[in-house]
Structure 1
Amino acid sequence: MARSRREALLLGLASAGGLGTSVGASTARAATVAADRSPPWRAGVEGQRRADLGDGFYRNPVLSGDRADPSVLKDGDDYYAVFSSFQYYPGVVVWRSRDLVNWTPVGPALTVPLGTVWALDIARHDGRYFIYIPVLTKAEAAGLPFKIYVIHAPSMAGPWSAPIDMGLDGYIDPGHAVGEDGKRYLFLNDGHRVRISDDGLRPDGAVEKVYDGWPIPEDWVIEAPAPEGPKILRHGGWFYLFSGQGGTAGPPTSHMAVVARSRSIHGPWENCPHNPIVRTTSIDEPWWSRGHATPVQGPAGDWWLAYHGYEHGFRTLGRQMLLEPFEWTADGWPRALGGDLSRPLPKPSRTATNPHGLALSDDFHQAMLGSRLAFFAPKPGYLDRVRLADGGLVLKGQGSGPADASPLAMIAGDRSYEVTIDLELRGPGQGGLLLFYDDKLFCGVGAEAERLHAYKGGREQGYPAPGPGEGRRLGLRVVNDRDVASFFVRRPGGAWRKIVSYEVSGYNHNMADGFLSLRPALFSAGEGEVVFRALTYRARVSS
């Protein structure tokens, strides 16, 4: 799908090259070392936490913040990953790595708003790349089924095709596979499977039930059986089916990764005798609800599981990407080696020099929509709301307030951070800075020329009372200190003045559903427009 010059500028599409030297070969083992707690993570760009400790070891998460349902593809010396992007557009941001620990964004693959994007799968077949995208639309949320779309491209850097509706209604979590006969399949949630056409774009047969899941003991504390996230690996004469079960949120001990195998893509499937191979077993562990695993071979020929989990005490950050080594047992089953992930682990390769992460600060010379900022639940034509001009990002107003303004949000992956923004109000309406979960749950400050507004729990607050305005030019700041958020305002050249502080640990999926995370966000509501300038993000501590 061809992109206009303006769209390419706004998206800030990255080149697929330039990730540093090739990865050397070394074999990672399960040995762990005593936890280094000063600091637990290495500080990366803008102080953001970085998994790579610089000494041949890494500490989870390998990609912090909201990176749910990771799907990882090994493509020669490169690794690519995509994650659930939910209602955020541009979405389906592709990330690239050489060592599975350090990741940088390539850019978004999906600009057309389809609905809520969950649990994708990446595949390469016959030299072409595919992303299978399950979507829940507003109509479907009222009772109609999910849909599965597919996009394809000559490379993971694109250009990506327009989304194609595959006609697979009512299913989620596609997992691409190729059988012993060379035919292509999608494995789906709840143990279903469908053969697809040779070009990978449509069904080529009926959906059938092929796997019943692993029988979870009745006394285990889980959310639901929920077989989902199937990933197929062909290895050593077997097809291995990796699945998530137990429910992806809820109690900390819900989610898990299980595995089954078969000599044929058609089954029958035999469950691993030591299932689950990954699971949180205690609320005392540092990572909760671990599951939805993709198996991938490391650069040295070793084996790894990439999956997600909630950080103990920080559900607001969403499900983050975790990496754990595994080995093959003598009888041909995978066995995870990382324990509860509380300690540093040896990297897949000690010689990689990959960069990692993305600066979230922005001077708006190149907005990098999707990779840095994305619209929540935008309407068609949403890119027409935004332009780069006057030394900033100019955002047309929409709706009457933060709830229906389709804010521009970023993924934060630090336990503590601060965000500042300068804004200029043009015409009636308001602009502001939020911590945003969804259109029903957010907090923050909105500014009109004559008045300040405070928001909490998704509603405007009478306390503190709306204050006098600061004029048409002002600065806003939020400091989120381990889920205690304080909001500040200042006039140009003036000192910061605190407006209000809120406790926001409850702004998470278990309280509000939706599987989302709490994100710093900018909004422009009402008539007129807001010019945002000098966006800065800083992690406050490496913890």
Structure 2
Amino acid sequence: MKIARRNLFAGLLAGAATPALAGAAAVHRAVPALSPPRWGKGVEGQRKADLGDGTFLNPIVAGDHPDPTILKDGGDYYITFSSFYSYPGLVIWHSTDLVNWAPVGPALFKPLGVIWAVDLVKHEGRYFIYIPADPTGKGWSIFVIWADDIGGPWSDPIDLKIEGSIDPGHVVGEDGKRYLFTNGVRKIRLTDDGLATDGVLEKAYEPWRYPDDWVVENFAPEGPKLLRRNGWFYLVTAVGGTAGPVTGHMVIAARSRSVQGPWEHCPHNPLVRTVGAAEPWWSRGHGSLVEGPAGDWWMVYHGYENGFRTLGRQTLLAPVEWTADGWFRVLGGDLSKPLPKPKGGRAGPSGLALSDDFTVDRMGVQWAFHDPAADEASRAGYEPKGLRIKGRGASPADSAPLTCTVGDRAYEVEITIELRGEAEGGLLLFYNHKAFVGLGFTPSSLKTFEYSEELAWARKPHDARVMRLRIGNDDNVVTYHYSYDEGRTWQRHGTRMEVSGFHHNVFGGFLSLKVGVYGAGPGDVLLRDFTYRALTPSLS
């Protein structure tokens, strides 16, 4: 596999195999306590699905990795996720056993606005990603990018002009023609090269309906993924809404001898669903089928972690059983217990080291600008001593912070920030411009941001252009420390904050609470020595 920009990611992949430093852990819940789960320990103590004894414990990709689309490519597996407002975006991950995943690199560098559930496919030796996006804020369309190597380079986006559609699912019909299915569930034929449409968008399937008294967000048929097996086309769809009540989201299936239909409902519907708030994973749905290394079958899907919606929707894996009548069932129950790993796989690197000395370009793999302007990339530049970010806006509320996805229930991050000119900089936990907390500073004062507003009464005068800032997030309780001498001595900030409400059901957007670093005002901020370590939650 040739990986474009290989030097950018060599340090990341090497770091993914380094020894663990600290533990990962249990949970603070809004429901009666469950038995505390115990994950494996990966790099920097980050939780790891592979338990090292032939079993694994979900999630297989922790943190905000929703709407998984998975591709089996010989003995390799590739997966990517919705990247929403993060650019560079659409990071592709690689595995050889379906449990241990490490990043390859981003596929999308040109901003398209918000991006939802994509589809990663390979057809006649070429890779394609079909992308629903709203680049103007005036309506959705579906775009496509392509590459001759999974590591890139990837093409610029091509607008297929499938207006008002999201959640594409690619399939080759029995006629040899290529089709996209979209939310609804609708379909449209593509040209043979997959880079344009060759027909009209039309109704394809009327999805199975759950009982009317079930508590769900809304009907919302979406995320169609298709598979051809033993003369049948299987259509796997999400219904019930992707957030809202914990019992809403689910996976259903149908099958047909033809992509033209008619489709028959699976008698086992719904195949995946959270049935109560005591389960460890909420709002489970958006599934795709994939064949394992030894020929057995699995489903990847996503869910919110009980008590930790702040982490976003995380990627889950469950075994699939094919039945004698040609249907399938999804096993694994509520995924509260370890499961046997897929047979025949070869464990590889897992996760990525997040600590960063800013000597290697990690843009897209670790760091991404939130909702960037067209010229956002020009704000960033690597220097011998760190990463320079040009100021934008007047505060975190109107800047485009640099963000980093995290997947642990408890963690601690530190960074040294140096101000140049009259810039302002700081360290945040950032959901969106309406929802963030953190510390910032100017040359003349230390600032405190609580629930997206500065606490003016807490502003502390000082004379400083270099500070080291620390944020600890322990079961959604946030503690701050700051240092004026590069971390040799620390002062604990007098205010703690609780952030369990920073998630989609409160602020919308389907996002997660990420670590963020911002630069604002006239001048630059220089970022140095970012460190991350997972913690054992104090309430475990």
TM-score normalised by the chain length of structure 1:
0.92
The question of 1:480 aligning with 2:478 is answered no
Paired position in structure 2 for 1:307: 301
Question: Of 220, 228, 252, which aligns to 2:222?
Answer: 228
1:277–1:9 Cα change, 3 Å: closer
The SS at the match of 2:377 is helix
Question: Which deviates further from its counterpart, 349-358 or 202-211?
Answer: 349-358
State yes or no: 1:417 paired with 2:411: yes
* 1:517 matched to 2:512: yes
Give secondary structure in 2 for the equivalent of 1:511: helix
Which among 187, 190, 200 is matched to residue 193 of structure 1?
A: 187
Q: Identify if the C-alpha distance between structure 1 residues 467 and 18 changes in structure 2 by more than 3 Å, giving closer, same or farther.
A: closer
Give 1:344 shift: 0.2
Match of 1:154 in 2: 148
| Matched ranges for 1:91-170 at <5 A | 91-140=89-138, 145-170=139-164
> What is the identity, as a one-letter code, of the residue corresponding to 1:432?
G
| Structure 1 residues 452-486: Cα deviation after superposition (integer angstroms, max 9, x where no partner) | 111122111234x1012351111000000010111
- Decide whether the 8 Å contact of 1:213 with 1:227 is kept in 2: yes
Identify which range, 313-322 or 37-46, moves more after superposition: 37-46
Kindly tell me: are residues 256 and 174 of structure 1, through their superposed partners in 2, closer, same or farther at Cα, counting changes over 3 Å? same
Structure 1, 346-355 or 256-265: larger mean CA deviation = 346-355
- Please say if residues 398 and 525 of structure 1, whose CA atoms lie closer than 8 Å, have aligned partners that are also in contact: yes
Q: Distance in 2 between matches of 1:350 and 1:94?
A: 23
Question: Shift of the alpha carbon at 1:541?
Answer: 2.0
Structure 1, unaligned stretches of length 5 or more?
Answer: 21-35
| Contact 1:470/1:490 (<8 A) preserved | no
Q: Find out whether 1:444 has 2:446 as its counterpart.
A: no
Matched with 2:499 is 504
- Residues 52-71 of structure 1 correspond to what in structure 2 (within 5 A)? 52-71=50-69
1:298 pairs with 2:292: yes
Provide the C-alpha distance between the structure 2 equivalents of 1:268 and 1:414, rounded to a whole number of angstroms: 45
CA contact (8 A) 1:91 1:109 kept: yes
**What is the deviation of 1:138?**
4.7
Percent identity for Structure 1 against Structure 2: 53
**2:144 is paired with a residue of what secondary structure?**
strand
Say if 2:467 is the partner of 1:471.
no
User: Relative to structure 1, is the Cα distance of residues 512 and 414 closer, same or farther in structure 2, using a 3 angstrom cutoff?
Assistant: same
Distance 1:52 1:9, change over 3 A: closer
Q: Does 1:256 align with 2:254?
A: no
**Residue type at the aligned position of 2:311:** L
Q: Give distance in 1, aligned partners of 2:14 and 2:534.
A: 28
Does the CA contact (< 8 Å) of 1:230 and 1:244 recur in 2?
yes
Asked whether the equivalents of residues 418 and 539 of structure 1 are also in contact (C-alpha less than 8 Å), the reply is: yes
SS in 2 for 1:384: helix
CA displacement at 1:340 relative to structure 2:
0.5
What amino acid maps onto 2:80 in structure 1? Answer: V
**Deviation per CA, 1:237-265, whole angstroms, max 9, x where unpaired?**
11000000000000000000000000111
What amino acid maps onto 1:536 in structure 2? T
Partner letter of residue 523 of structure 1?
Answer: Y
Q: Cα offset for 1:506?
A: 0.4
CA contact (8 A) 2:12 2:352 kept: no
Structure 2 CA distance for aligned equivalents of residues 11 and 459 of structure 1: 36
Please tell me whether residue 491 in structure 1 is matched to residue 484 in structure 2.
yes
Equivalent residue letter for 1:515: F
The alignment partner of 1:379 has SS state of: coil
1:432 aligned partner = 426
User: How much has 1:336 moved relative to structure 2?
Assistant: 0.9
Which of 60, 72, 76 lines up with 2:70 in the alignment? 72
Q: Give RMSD over aligned pairs.
A: 2.1
1:382 to 351, 376, 379: 376
| Cα deviation, residue 39, structure 1 | 6.1
Measure the CA separation in 2 of the matches of 1:307 and 1:472.
46
Letter of the structure 1 residue corresponding to residue 44 of structure 2? E
Distance 1:371 1:164 in 2: 23
Q: Give the alignment's TM-score, normalised by structure 2.
A: 0.93
Q: CA deviation at 1:147?
A: 1.2
Query: Residue 383 of structure 1: CA displacement?
Result: 1.5
Report the 3-state secondary structure (helix = DSSP H, G, I; strand = E; otherwise coil) of the residue aligned with 1:122.
strand
Give me the whole-angstrom Cα distance separating, in 2, the residues matched to 1:233 and 1:541.
41
Q: How does 1:258-337 map to 2 (within 5 A)?
A: 258-337=252-331
> Residue type matched to 1:93 in 2?
V
How many correspondences in the alignment? 518
User: How far apart are residue 520 of structure 1 and its match?
Assistant: 0.5
1:434, 1:194 → 2: CA distance? 43
**Aligned mates of 1:345, 1:271 — CA distance in 2:** 28
Aligned pair partner of 1:175 in 169, 172, 183 = 169
How far the C-alpha of 1:38 sits from its partner, in A, is: 7.4
| Mapped partners of 2:524, 2:16: distance in 1 | 38
CA deviation string 1:104-124 (max 9, x = no partner): 000000011110010000011
What corresponds to 1:28 in structure 2? none
Distance in 2 (alpha carbons) for counterparts of 1:70 and 1:128: 20
Residues 13, 368 of structure 1: 8 Å contact kept: no
Q: Aligned with 2:496: secondary structure?
A: strand
Residue 205 (structure 1) aligned with residue 199 (structure 2): yes
Q: CA deviation at 1:12?
A: 4.2
